Amino acid sequence: MTSMIGRRFALTLLGAAGLAMATSGLAQAEDAPRVIKIATAAESKPLSWGAIGHEPQGYEPDVLKAINAKLPQYKFEMEGAADIAQETGLATGKYDMITGGYYSNPTRAKQFLIPENPIGASMMKIYSRKSDEIKDMTGLAGKKIVPVTAGGGVYKFVTGWQEEHPDVTFKLTASSAGVPYPTRLNELNQGKYDALILPSNLGEATVIEQQKLDIVASEPVVVHNTYVLIHRDAENEQLAADVSKALGELREDGTLDQISEKWFGEKVGAYMTLN
């Protein structure tokens, strides 16, 4: 009888211990940060680059790390991906977030969640030789412009500007060839063209400095905010709000300026427009 009571007591203790361990494990699981899968641009140095299997580097990956430091309830896991793979993966839910210098537009706002605060700014500038410095769009009159990608953001901006200013004429041709911008800068430096129009977050300043090119950049002729895009579902609405809040704080405390100066050689905070 004593032996049976002892065994029952031992089983009761074991059951209680098992329940305590299960409860503890559940609490730990509930406290574990939510993993957020993120795709960054794979070949957009210094904005972001890094193939699958390698940790992404650049401006946006550094900002994402700064955001994650403010949001311990999440664990950001990043990988590089091609542009088309990014948006397809985000639409299907393979990724929770993507970054790649994305603008906000009605189509994207309908398809994805977009935090109110931007992650950066795309500042379009005119690059020209110091001997023939061009400070604004009107200075392009009679000039030969480096060909721009047909249908791209630069092409849309320049052709739109031309329509609004028909009195200022210059030669602009569209190109389907993906000529690297360092090559274009050298063509400009050699006099093949008179001006190059590009967003300044592609690393032009570094190329100009390293290759000692006789080229200067204008002040931005147009600025577009760039945003994080988030997979649209109910669970991610809080994620979008948290990311937006963190980005606002990083802009206010100067972190975005520090990171952009590191990668682009200039501060982006002053150029961002807020909603």
Nearest to 186, CA basis, from 204, 216, 213, 205: 213
Contact partners, residue 12, CB within 8 Å, separation at least 6: none
Give the predicted TM-score (pTM) of the model: 0.75
Say how far apart CA 257 and CA 73 lie, in whole Å. 25
Nearest to 119, CA basis, from 243, 29, 207, 18: 243
pLDDT of residue 57: 93
pLDDT of residue 109: 94
Q: What is the 3-state secondary structure (H, E, C) of the chain?
A: CHHHHHHHHHHHHHHHHHHHHHHHHHHHHHHCCEEEEEEEECEECCCEECCCCCCCECHHHHHHHHHHHHCCCEEEEEEEECHHHHHHHHHHCCCCEEEEEECCCHHHHHHCECCCCCCEEEEEEEEEEHHHCCCCHHHHCCCEECCEECCCHHHHHHHHHHHHCCCCCCECCEECCCCCHHHHHHHHHCCCCCEEEEEHHHCHHHHHHHCCCCEEECCCCEEEEEEEEECCCHHHHHHHHHHHHHHHHHHHCCHHHHHHHHHHCCCCHHHCCCC
pLDDT of residue 8: 55
pLDDT of residue 273: 78
pLDDT of residue 153: 77
First to last CA, the chain: 78
Ordered mean pLDDT values, 10 residues apiece, the chain (275 residues): 51 51 48 94 84 83 98 96 88 95 90 96 94 95 88 83 92 74 91 92 84 94 93 96 97 95 86 74
pLDDT of residue 30: 60
